[in-house]
Structure 1
Amino acid sequence: MRPHAEIAEVWPRDGHIRLVGRIHGTPADGTWHLLLTRRAHTGRTLRYAAAVEGDRFETELPVGDLTADDYAPVEEWDVHLTDGEVELRAGRHLDDVRGKKKIFVYPEQRAGDLRVRPYFTIKDNLSLECRTGGPA
């Protein structure tokens, strides 16, 4: 299995999304950050400190930081962990559950007119979905 950031817990509440997991397949030395990359505009990234102890990491992001003026009705942000040299895709692959996209459903949070929801992709990677307008 390729090195990745194995997600153990996703906590969307109180205007933040908290992520807890383990760095899998590569040394966890150094300073690590959560890296969000806007899928439609890969040059747009957000970076947050990640606390790492051993191979365990914990980090969070405020959903208000995901707002933008140039959003399409639906935008996705891909979630990675990086130490500046290595970029690890965040996902959940070390369990026996396949097809998490249809199984794990997280609540939306609002940031102004934006609704933000973490979700697992069809490859069991973690991403964030942002929808503009409409009811929550």
Structure 2
Amino acid sequence: MKPHAEIQQVWPRDGRIRFVGELHGHTPAGTGVWQLLLVLRNQGGEQLRYDAPLDGVRFDASLPVDDLALDGLPAATWDLHLSSGPGPGELRLRAGRHLDDIKGKKKIMVYPAQSVTSDEDATVVRPFYTVNDNLSVECVPGEIGPHSWEIERPEWVG
């Protein structure tokens, strides 16, 4: 298995998403500053970076969901990585959960959604596992319904 950031816990609540895990297949040299890196999929590669201090190979990082909901985008998907930091020689380890022997998490594990409301738009933000058991975060227009798993999307005029 290639090196990756093994996610052990995901805590979406109170306007933040917290990720806890450890590096797998890579032992960092020294105490460099690592970052939680989110890369916007299919939208020109926009990136967001947050501090992810390491304790050995363990990390604990969080981010505000407000940062992920971009005004004007009908939907967005952010792919998560742990990064050794920007610049030459940057190492990016894709975040996911592969060591628990549970395949197909996309259909099994559903995390709570959170709402982000700006002056123009309402957006629902939710972490999810991809078909490859990597972790990403989706942002879709709409609001959370009476039940946290229901997303009410506005009618599109076309």
CA RMSD of aligned residues (A): 1.1
Q: Between Structure 1 and Structure 2, whose CA radius of gyration is higher?
A: 2
Spell out the pairing of 1:2-81 with structure 2 (5 A cutoff). 2-29=2-29, 30-72=32-74, 74-81=75-82
Please state how far the C-alpha of 1:111 moved relative to its aligned partner: 1.0
State the TM-score, normalized to the length of structure 2. Answer: 0.82
Please state how far the C-alpha of 1:70 moved relative to its aligned partner: 2.8
4+ residue runs over 2 A deviation = 133-136
Separation in structure 2 between the aligned mates of residue 94 and residue 45 of structure 1, nearest angstrom: 27
State the TM-score, normalized to the length of structure 1. Answer: 0.94
- How many residues are paired up? 135
1:127 aligns with 2:128: no
Q: Which residue of 2 aligns with 1:114?
A: 123
Counterpart pick for 1:100 among 81, 97, 105: 105
Q: Unpaired runs of 5+ in structure 1?
A: none
Please state how far the C-alpha of 1:134 moved relative to its aligned partner: 4.4
Instruction: Give the match's secondary structure for 1:106.
Output: coil
Q: Unpaired runs of 5+ in structure 2?
A: 146-158
> For the Cα contact (< 8 Å) 2:115–2:144, is it kept in 1?
no
Instruction: Give the match's secondary structure for 1:101.
Output: helix
> For the Cα contact (< 8 Å) 1:16–1:61, is it kept in 2?
yes
Spell out the pairing of 1:76-95 with structure 2 (5 A cutoff). 76-84=77-85, 85-95=90-100
| Larger RCO of the pair (alpha carbons < 8 Å, separation 6+) | 1
Percent same amino acid among aligned pairs? Answer: 54
Please state how far the C-alpha of 1:26 moved relative to its aligned partner: 1.1
Q: Go from structure 1 to structure 2 and tell me whether the alpha carbon gap of 1:42 and 1:2 turns closer, same or farther (over 3 Å shift).
A: farther
Please state how far the C-alpha of 1:40 moved relative to its aligned partner: 2.0
Q: Which has the higher strand share?
A: 1
